[in-house]
Structure 1
Amino acid sequence: MSLHRFKMIALASALAVAGPTAAIAADQALAPIAAAPIVSIPTAGSVSALYDQYKLKPIWFKNGGPSVAVTQLTQILRRARLDGLSNGPELAVQVENAVRAASSGNPADIAAAEQTISAAWVLYVQTIKRPTPGMIYQYDVLKPQGTRTDQILLAASSAPSLEAHVSSVAAVNPVYAGIRDAEWARMQQTGTLDPDPRAVLNLERSRSIPAKGRFVLVDAGGSRLYMYENGVPVDSMKVIVGMPDRPTPMISSVMYYIVYNPYWNAPDHLVRGPIAAKTLAGGMKYFHGKMGYQVMADWSANSATIPAESINWKDVASGKVRLRVRQDPGPENFMGVLKFPFPNPEDIYLHDTSTPQHFKDADLHQSNGCVRLEDAKRFGRWLLGGRDPVAPGPDPEIQAQVPQPVPIILTYLTAQPTSAGLTYLKDPYGWDKPGAAQMAAAQMVASRVPRD
């Protein structure tokens, strides 16, 4: 997805927040009453209890009649299958019928319609605020917030503009809104009732992207990193991400510092593979040569080293012996000169590279899971607030704190909104199949091997 496209999506989302869309504004009249079975709304009980407990004043009928936000909500519910709410269209009809019944002016009918609308809104908000399946949330606060019935209704009740509030919440974030709007337009044009499953899965994977603020977005599907400020992408670059058999996982975390002159810990499969093979072929001359390898006693930060000559490298190659091999900082270091860590259980991080020529390749799914940056210095400059990321000395692993912690989201997007609708990238991870991303996450937890 191009930076230009991301900016267009952000602009469209901003316009939506400002007030009802033209399509909704043009459709103020209620549709003819529909004969449809009553849908059981699971949130109805908690909504009724909340109205009783807090003696809530009308949210949707503030001035005696239904607000424009009710029409917004019915339009939102009609497309809600895209959001994962399968009975959204039926709920839209139920809301319309409740509003029509309330037009009698009977206080009981108005109260019933008020609570029906609130129950539908709460259910919808809870649906779009579900955590992304397969995503690692390093901190609970990074999961979508505000999912309790009282939080949802009190936020709506206290909003300066209910119409703007409904638009803002339903937009989720600019990326999500762009994908959903493009697929909804296709469904309307073709008369299709059910959305493309690929679009729904992309929406799930984009649901946890922040709607505003300063953050980093890594899209492993498109092999691109975006730097956001005030919820708008201000810069982007290519990234090399995980191979299909070692995918970059979906993670939501926070970046606190950068590392100059980093060590590189070789992934287990590379130690057993090419490192062991080249050591057997070239001996200690290879191992202690320009590559700068060391055999470490364990995986602790202060691990001692072990003489490489004491290792049975045939056992390493066969998998009988598992080693930690660390590469010292230097011109051959696969990490380059900069590392950008963030807390996560998979030891995934962003980093510089000593092989920038690979960014010219057509397929950038080449790493062992971590993310190589096309321009690590430019990214570091943005992260440091404009200060050049220059190492203060030659020592290994020098840490420098960033001015303010920056959220980072790693996800996987194959759907791209265009003027002609959604287009789809190749799916190298196979995550455009239901349950595939969750299965990959479970396998990753089971393996938990070091990555590059």
Structure 2
Amino acid sequence: MKHLATLFTGAALTVALPLAAQAQVQPLIAGSFADAGGLAAQNAVAAFYKSYSVPPIWFRGGVASPALADVQRVLYRAPFDGFAAGPQYAAQIQAAIRQAASGNKADITAAERAVSTAWVAYVQSLKQLTPGMIYAYPVLAPQGTRADQILLTAAAAPSLQAYVNSTSNLNPVYAQLRDAAWLQGQSAGNMTPDPRLLANLERVRSLPSAGKFIFVDAGSQMLYMYENGRVVDSMKVVVGDKKNFGLPTPMIASIMHYMTFNPYWNVPHHLVRQKVAPGYLKEGAKYLKARGYEIVADWSEDAAVISPDTVDWKAVAAGAKQIRVRQLPGPTNSMGKMKFPFPNGQDIFLHDTPQRDYFNLARRDRSNGCVRLEAAPRLARWLLGQDAVAPSKDPEIRTKLPAGIPVYLSYLTAKPTSTGIAYLDDIYGWDVPGAQVAAVSAPVPTATR
């Protein structure tokens, strides 16, 4: 299977398609942009050119930009971005470019708007929200999705070719997945992407293209530290157990502003009912003392401590009464020596753990929703820029990070390989359409770990 090649014919610029792609788009070349689902984009583009006094973007000085070859290449590949109409748009652009080669002003104007319509429709599709992802800050959601934002950015780009390619690649994780699948499809002569691939691409759309950020992949149970588009460190993690606890780690985009030394562990209500209450009924107060547990009036750091003698433990064990139990800092504390909170509305955070055996497992979905870290001090050093040492033995010591660090929790079952894409076990069942949206709608217990 031949790869795409660019061909120049006078002022026109076209792209040669692989045979499989030609078979898919040839019957559609004569169709309108509305046929490809772009009526909204077409109207928005018309309004843009009416409202803004900008020179042509794609045909500056009446000459077709070399970037048009990149636009067509991106659109031919677009089904592997989840934009099925891409090849139709690319074929129509090709026809419009050939028509514009006549030098007729009206033809050039029509071609300019045809390219802009196709590009706006593609970018808007590419920058959709990830279904089921919690965006703790609006700025972390995909930005620049209005037609005028897209076209003004293109018009101001120092290099139109660089802009087209960087926009289509979104971020390194997304581009590696998409490109591996695209090359695999070309080699096999199969231009229909696997639905599992598209589900995975949706789940990494919101990752940044550059900068410093944390990426937790619940699918492979790994954490990656990124700087300027490349992984600088990684570690194993333990993530939520959907099968036994019904508590998968949710997809979250947030910003971490501080870390906590010597954290309390607020015991989840279901564990208080299932383990703590029966333990107290069997062993009495020594059960609590041996584990560093205390009963508190609320979850505040200065909460009043309640005597266990005043608690109706049989009612707690039966689920008829709820109490708040927290574990003091210490060698058995389930949070370990440090935790890394970030806003998300579901009490999910990253944390250290004294339980090390799970990190020896190939599959590590064993937590109540939060993310346990294989090497918490190493993450803390990367965040702080120095070794992380607790200032004292006091509980809940918050240490501000030098700068807020974006943190993304997502879920990948697709991995790029040297020959294409390999698929992992779908432990959460989120590759099924709609499943990940339903998951985030379900109630999640507070104080998970």
What TM-score results when the alignment is normalised by the length of structure 1? 0.91
**1:366-445 alignment to 2 at 5 Å?**
366-385=366-385, 387-443=386-442
| Contact 1:216–1:227, Cα closer than 8 Å, also in 2 | yes
| Contact 1:294–1:326, Cα closer than 8 Å, also in 2 | yes
The secondary structure found in structure 2 opposite 1:257 is strand
Offset of 1:267 from its aligned partner?
1.2
> 1:52-98 CA distances to partner (integer Å, 9 max, x unpaired)?
22122111111423222112111211221222222111111111111
1:347 maps to what in 2?
Answer: 347
Q: Return the alpha-carbon distance in structure 1 between the equivalents of residues 138 and 3 of structure 2.
A: 37
RMSD between aligned alpha carbons?
1.7
Q: Return the alpha-carbon distance in structure 2 between the equivalents of residues 47 and 222 of structure 1.
A: 42
Offset of 1:24 from its aligned partner?
5.2
**Structure 2 unaligned blocks of 5 or more:** 9-13, 17-21
Offset of 1:117 from its aligned partner?
0.4
Q: Return the alpha-carbon distance in structure 2 between the equivalents of residues 67 and 252 of structure 1.
A: 37
| Contact 1:295–1:306, Cα closer than 8 Å, also in 2 | yes
Q: Return the alpha-carbon distance in structure 1 between the equivalents of residues 7 and 422 of structure 2.
A: 29
Match of 2:157 among 143, 159, 172: 159
Q: Return the alpha-carbon distance in structure 2 between the equivalents of residues 160 and 407 of structure 1.
A: 28
1:310 maps to what in 2?
Answer: 310
Identity in percent: 51
**Structure 1 unaligned blocks of 5 or more:** 1-21
Given residue 418 of structure 1, which amino acid in structure 2 is its aligned partner? T
2:105 maps to what in 1?
Answer: 107
Offset of 1:186 from its aligned partner?
2.0
The secondary structure found in structure 1 opposite 2:46 is helix
1:150 maps to what in 2?
Answer: 148
- Number of aligned residue pairs: give it: 427
1:249 maps to what in 2?
Answer: 250
Q: Return the alpha-carbon distance in structure 2 between the equivalents of residues 27 and 334 of structure 1.
A: 62
Offset of 1:129 from its aligned partner?
0.9
The secondary structure found in structure 2 opposite 1:288 is helix
Q: Return the alpha-carbon distance in structure 1 between the equivalents of residues 241 and 340 of structure 2.
A: 20
**1:237-316 alignment to 2 at 5 Å?**
237-244=235-242, 245-289=246-290, 291-316=291-316
2:11 maps to what in 1?
Answer: none
Given residue 364 of structure 2, which amino acid in structure 1 is its aligned partner? L
Offset of 1:357 from its aligned partner?
2.4
Tell me whether 370-379 or 311-320 shows the greater mean CA deviation.
Answer: 311-320
Q: Return the alpha-carbon distance in structure 2 between the equivalents of residues 52 and 208 of structure 1.
A: 32
> 1:237-291 CA distances to partner (integer Å, 9 max, x unpaired)?
00111112211110011111111100000112111112222222212111122x1
Given residue 259 of structure 2, which amino acid in structure 1 is its aligned partner? I
Tell me whether 299-308 or 124-133 shows the greater mean CA deviation.
Answer: 299-308
Q: Return the alpha-carbon distance in structure 2 between the equivalents of residues 79 and 300 of structure 1.
A: 53
Q: Return the alpha-carbon distance in structure 1 between the equivalents of residues 97 and 27 of structure 2.
A: 14
| Contact 1:268–1:322, Cα closer than 8 Å, also in 2 | yes
Change (3 A) 1:24 1:189: closer
Offset of 1:307 from its aligned partner?
1.2
Given residue 363 of structure 1, which amino acid in structure 2 is its aligned partner? R
1:38 maps to what in 2?
Answer: 32
Q: Return the alpha-carbon distance in structure 1 between the equivalents of residues 60 and 148 of structure 2.
A: 18
1:9 maps to what in 2?
Answer: none
What TM-score results when the alignment is normalised by the length of structure 2? 0.92
| Contact 2:6–2:15, Cα closer than 8 Å, also in 1 | no
Q: Return the alpha-carbon distance in structure 2 between the equivalents of residues 280 and 63 of structure 1.
A: 84
1:364 maps to what in 2?
Answer: 364
Q: Return the alpha-carbon distance in structure 2 between the equivalents of residues 421 and 35 of structure 1.
A: 29
| Contact 2:93–2:114, Cα closer than 8 Å, also in 1 | yes
Q: Return the alpha-carbon distance in structure 2 between the equivalents of residues 406 and 329 of structure 1.
A: 26
Answering whether residue 219 of structure 2 is matched by residue 218 of structure 1, we say no
Q: Return the alpha-carbon distance in structure 1 between the equivalents of residues 209 and 323 of structure 2.
A: 43
Given residue 402 of structure 1, which amino acid in structure 2 is its aligned partner? L
Offset of 1:228 from its aligned partner?
0.9
1:321 maps to what in 2?
Answer: 321
